[in-house]
Structure 1
């Protein structure tokens, strides 16, 4: 059995891992850490919950420990890019945990936090900077951050980066960074657009994968229940009242939908909180902390806000609405079955979402198990508290989302009434849901295009950067042609 010590990591790192109770590397760690220690670029395909953060954090910290250098004002030595605030925070916490016996500085920069505060944190330099692309470039434009000394770059959740429209920001970052660097690139899925993006950042990468592309977590039992939209809230409330649903994440496609679900649940006596792009950073952090501590058992989230949620004891994921981007399903159910545990994913599928379900099953190459409505569903649903009234603006948005806005107000459907045969899909276009979601400070710059591929930068030595000599002491081998 391989241990972390056998991988050749520095002793302060193995001590920190031992204190955390980590004994055996996960498959992605076994495959990624050795070539990363040799200074090679990595192209990793790994779902959430597989231990990929440690797969890049540990070799990076080993390198910094073996190649100590004074910090330069405004300049990080390591840059980690993440698509969301929550994921950036989680990655930084992992770095700090592993580096507890090292004198390393780790900082985060993302939207929702005043820029002057972040500028003060970066003023004296930093070893590891974890950032979202939008705020990173804001700081670069203000000349409060220099990227010309970055020695190691990490792109985590690259497919989500592309979904959020960060392609133009990433292209600009690629132009600013030194050409001689090590790059580690991780994604849960690997469509052609992601492969094209990887070509821009990587040179002769070692490819590592812990599961076939686009497959879902093997330890997640996946079910689908067919019902109409008007029945979803009642089924969700009745489901979450069951004791086995002790810690559950519920996914909606829109921010207003998440708030509406929370109002219904709390009105029925089910403690819940929502996280999405309209929530302030303190609100999001309070909701996550309450969920993590068990003060609430249900977290209602949009796809983007949920990225970076790393809570081991999540027992269930419920897709209140199916995602219109099938890859998002892979990320959603990855919130459960973490750290070797089993998990359950339930999906509520209305008639106008069957096309989404077909796309998901095609991507994941498996059929979801059909779970019928409970026998006494209508009787039990009738006993639930009446739905919480919605505001006029939210009601209009919901009608618009379902294609019901016209010259007259559409008549609402009664509970249990089947939707019209001509009801359209809830949203059109693969990226409609995610376009509305990113926090304003981290929005991608410029219009999004399907991943173009101009020639990526080469790797000759950057200005003033000496060639590295390879070695077992953690030094990076010089690039061919550098």
Structure 2
């Protein structure tokens, strides 16, 4: 099905065609007609399936009548969790709207607020903003929403993970009640659904997370290695396999700087990417990475959803993330839009609990591969999908035993009241608690390892 069949006018479909896109992805095919029909949307789709175009294209169609707006007003607001994602969305808007007389602006922290204020004076059609900076602008009366038509919450699950719920609520309270609401997320967790319930009236739910056509072709595997051998292993893999490019994820800014130095000593040039670097530097790094002027970027988790590199073939989890969702979003930087990708994780014994949580969420065991010369001194146990930490298991057991003791005590009292002359002969032994296993609800089972 061509984009023109979705109800988009020629200037939009022409821009899309010039970018090399001939037919919509599943999420676009379902979401665009619904948005054009004025429906409120609650949509879930994995990273790399074209979520941005799913709301940008129909918004451009709705705003393309060229309606004049007053100063400091906006007609569509898109909230994103990070500066990188705000810039990425705004860049896509510019590309899709190249043949339309519409204006857009990306607004985020880390840069001078005066320059962004100046751009808002004449008003913009589409504002892409991070919650914190938008609140600053609202409190300074630099932006008003009395002409707002559409609100988009992009990467809603990530915004909630980053603690933006209070900011989001404060923003929504100041928006006109008559508006179209679109929520897009990689997952529809309980928190996301609760946000949708409070912010969106009668949404249509759209999900393509289980469609085979949306499955990323990501070859996932891990290798076990001691922490003090990781940098040597990474260097050897880069050199022995002639890697041309890789996005390497690490947990801390200090760790990123240290790894860049270690790689440099082995003749491998890499750049660190984290919140400690200025916005201008980060933007330039992304541009250089896209053009392959920089081959290796060592990034903290803040970049997991903000980096969108076409045809990125490889990501490396130098440090395994603590949250399973972060793992999914990291590896989602590769294998985008149907392309093939590779996701490699370095796992030490201390990572075992995190590994089990990740594999439980995925619903399968990640393939292990041994690298000669890097067998860990501390072996990593074999993974189990229904792994429950000892402390959690003990707590569950104690709660269940307590409930059973309470019930036995009540039964004993009832028996004594009915037959006061009879002595209680109840069994005082505690009954072992039932085995507990975590909920096997698995929204990520479509991320299957490559055959």
| TM-score band, normalised by shorter chain | 0.7 to 0.9
| 1:308 CA drift (Å) | 2.0
SS in 2 for 1:207: strand
- Kept in 1, the 8 Å contact 2:74–2:144? The answer is yes
Is 1:11 matched up with 2:10? yes
Partners in 2 of 1:39 and 1:245 — Cα distance? 47
2:398 alignment counterpart? none
Show structure 2 runs of 5+ residues with no match: 382-451
SS in 2 for 1:80: strand
2:351 alignment counterpart? 353
Partners in 2 of 1:369 and 1:285 — Cα distance? 35
| 1:154 CA drift (Å) | 0.7
| 1:11 CA drift (Å) | 1.1
Q: TM-score, normalised by structure 1?
A: 0.76
The CA deviation string for residues 77-106 of structure 1, in whole angstroms up to 9 with x for no partner, is 000011111100000010110100000111
1:323 alignment counterpart? 321
Map 1:70-149 → 2, pairs under 5 A: 70-149=68-147
Partners in 1 of 2:191 and 2:41 — Cα distance? 17
The CA deviation string for residues 42-62 of structure 1, in whole angstroms up to 9 with x for no partner, is 111112211111010000000
2:56 alignment counterpart? 57
1:468 alignment counterpart? none
Map 1:215-364 → 2, pairs under 5 A: 217-364=215-362
| 1:16 CA drift (Å) | 0.7
1:191 alignment counterpart? 189
- Kept in 2, the 8 Å contact 1:174–1:200? The answer is no
- Kept in 2, the 8 Å contact 1:318–1:347? The answer is yes
Is 1:41 matched up with 2:20? no
- Kept in 2, the 8 Å contact 1:247–1:313? The answer is no
Q: Relative to structure 1, is the Cα distance of residues 45 and 244 closer, same or farther in structure 2, using a 3 angstrom cutoff?
A: farther
Map 1:204-223 → 2, pairs under 5 A: 204-212=202-210, 217-223=215-221
The CA deviation string for residues 290-316 of structure 1, in whole angstroms up to 9 with x for no partner, is 211111211111111332211112111
Partners in 1 of 2:336 and 2:342 — Cα distance? 11
Partners in 2 of 1:242 and 1:295 — Cα distance? 21
- Kept in 2, the 8 Å contact 1:48–1:334? The answer is yes
Aligned residues: 379
Rg: which structure is higher? 2
SS in 1 for 2:237: helix
- Kept in 2, the 8 Å contact 1:265–1:271? The answer is yes
SS in 1 for 2:338: coil
Q: Which has the higher contact order (CA 8 A, sep 6+)?
A: 1
The CA deviation string for residues 99-148 of structure 1, in whole angstroms up to 9 with x for no partner, is 00000111011011100000000011000000000000001111111123
1:375 alignment counterpart? 372
Map 1:432-471 → 2, pairs under 5 A: none
The CA deviation string for residues 366-421 of structure 1, in whole angstroms up to 9 with x for no partner, is 2100111x22448xxxxxxxxxxxxxxxxxxxxxxxxxxxxxxxxxxxxx764999
- Kept in 1, the 8 Å contact 2:103–2:126? The answer is yes
1:166 alignment counterpart? 164
- Kept in 1, the 8 Å contact 2:352–2:380? The answer is no
Q: Relative to structure 1, is the Cα distance of residues 30 and 144 closer, same or farther in structure 2, using a 3 angstrom cutoff?
A: same
> Root-mean-square deviation (CA), in Å?
1.8
Is 1:30 matched up with 2:12? no
Structure holding more helix per residue: 2
| 1:17 CA drift (Å) | 1.0
- Kept in 2, the 8 Å contact 1:251–1:318? The answer is yes
Q: TM-score, normalised by structure 2?
A: 0.81
Q: Relative to structure 1, is the Cα distance of residues 365 and 420 closer, same or farther in structure 2, using a 3 angstrom cutoff?
A: closer
The CA deviation string for residues 308-327 of structure 1, in whole angstroms up to 9 with x for no partner, is 21111211111011111111
Q: Which consecutive aligned stretches of 4+ in structure 1 deviate over 4 angstroms post-superposition?
A: 416-421
The CA deviation string for residues 317-347 of structure 1, in whole angstroms up to 9 with x for no partner, is 1101111111101100000001221011111
